[in-house]
Every structure is written in structure tokens, then in C-alpha cells.
Structure 1
Amino acid sequence: MMLYRLHCARDHDFESWFRDSAAFDDQKARGLVTCPLCGSDEVDKAIMAPSLGRGTRKNETETTAEAPAVPAAPPTQPVALMAEKEQQLRAMLKAVREHVVANSDYVGDDFARLARRMHEGDEEQRAIHGEATSDEVRALIEDEIEVLPLPVLPDERN
């Protein structure tokens, strides 16, 4: 992992970690690197000195003056990992999923069987959601039974 000092077009400085230089270049090209202060995606690497560890120890008889205290830099905000449009799309998908879940009955693994029974008129029509295998979904679609998968967002899997 590499820590980069970054600088935006509006003169804000911040830091962020990247797997390597190629990861930074890829994320920047996709608009995923933005300034946490102003949201600008015009971000470039700032000049920085490498941080090297010292391999020598001070001699106990040596006397050195303490370095003057340097005020701590204000904490930096995290860098947005998604572009604004991607955040908006994810919010819309989440809203759709929440609406469907709130306005339908969860039937678990019985989804395919109940959807088929409703289609054939053997079960009262109602909004349902649940689990189905890809084979069950394929069979429902082939029989012209309307189904719609609910989007699973990444933060739901973490």
C-alpha cells in the first residue's frame, strides 16, 4: 500500500492510500478520486518526500536538543470511492429495494412456487418477494410469469 499526498484544483491538500501507482491512475481515470473538502475530481499527486526509518540508535551519552513541537495537521476527510452519479444510482436502487420489501410479503424459498400458483389463479394475487434459484427463475420467465430481481448492493454483503 502507498500513501499519497494529493492536491485538488481548489488548493486543498489531503492524503489517501492506494494499492500502487496504477491503482491511483485507474481510480482517477474513472472519477473515483475526489477532494473530500470540495468534491472536485481534478486531483493530482502532490510532491512528497519519502518516509524512511532510521537504522541507527542514538548514543546514550549524546545530548541533543528536542525538536520544536509542530502543530498537528487537521484530520483529513476520507476520499469518496464513488463518483456522485454512482452514489445517486446506488441510493435510487436502495430506495427501490426498500419500497418493494416494505410493500410485499417475504415468502423465502417458496417464492417460485407461490408466483406460479398466483399466475395460474390457484393463489390470491399479492406482492411477494423471496428467494429463487436461477433454474426456478428461468422456468418462471419461460412460462411468461413476470419476475424482477431485487438489486443487492455491496454494503448489504459486507
Structure 2
Amino acid sequence: MIRYALKCEEGHEFESWFQSASAFDSLAKSGHLSCAVCGATQVEKTLMTPRVGADKDRAVIVDPKVEALAKMRRDVEENATYVGGEFAEKAREMHEGTSPEGAIYGEASAAETRALIEDGVPVMPLPFKPKQKLQ
């Protein structure tokens, strides 16, 4: 097992374990890596200091904003249904009462989002890209 410090195209830094260096290269080449925070697929290794010896008292400093985003992502993915490009249509149907209400997330164009807001449909942009869209 090998641990790498990684950084996505959006600037989020995180670490991940891989079976080997070649396993990382294979996953990166096939597009199967994504940012733990935003889901971006442009992920690269960054400079990492080697860990020398065991340091049980070593404090891990975690950016609270990164943790909050990761938690929000988990909550959305666990408690809402991904509807992809049908988001605007599904949200409008729920608002009008023609389909059952439920938590959904997906993609909508700026014009679709603006129309939903103007019509009083409660929507909120998410600060991350859905993983489903990236697969």
C-alpha cells in the first residue's frame, strides 16, 4: 500500500491510499480518480513529505471547510435521489404536486434554474459536482 497527497483542479487537497504506484497510474489514466470534496476528475499527485517512524501523538490538521463540504456531499448522496439533467422537470413536478415530494439533486441550466426560482420552486446550488455525472 502507498499513500499519496493529491490535489484536484479546483485546488482541494486530500490524501488517499493505493495498492501500488502502478495502481494509482492505472486509475488516473482510466479516469477513475475523483476529488473527495467536489468530485472533479482532474486529480494529480502533489509533493508529500515522507513519514519517518510511527508518531502516535501527531496531530492531524483538517480544514473545517473541506470537512463540511465532504459531510454535505455524503449527506446529499445518502439522502437524495440523483435525477441528472431532469432536475428542473422533476423539481417543478414536485412543486406543482404532480409527483411525490422527495429530496433530489442533479443538473439544470442557468435559464432552467432562474425559471424555477422565479416560479417559487425551492432550489439550491450545490458546491460540488455530482459523482454520477462524472462516471
TM-score (norm 2): 0.49
The structure with more radius of gyration: 1
TM-score (norm 1): 0.42
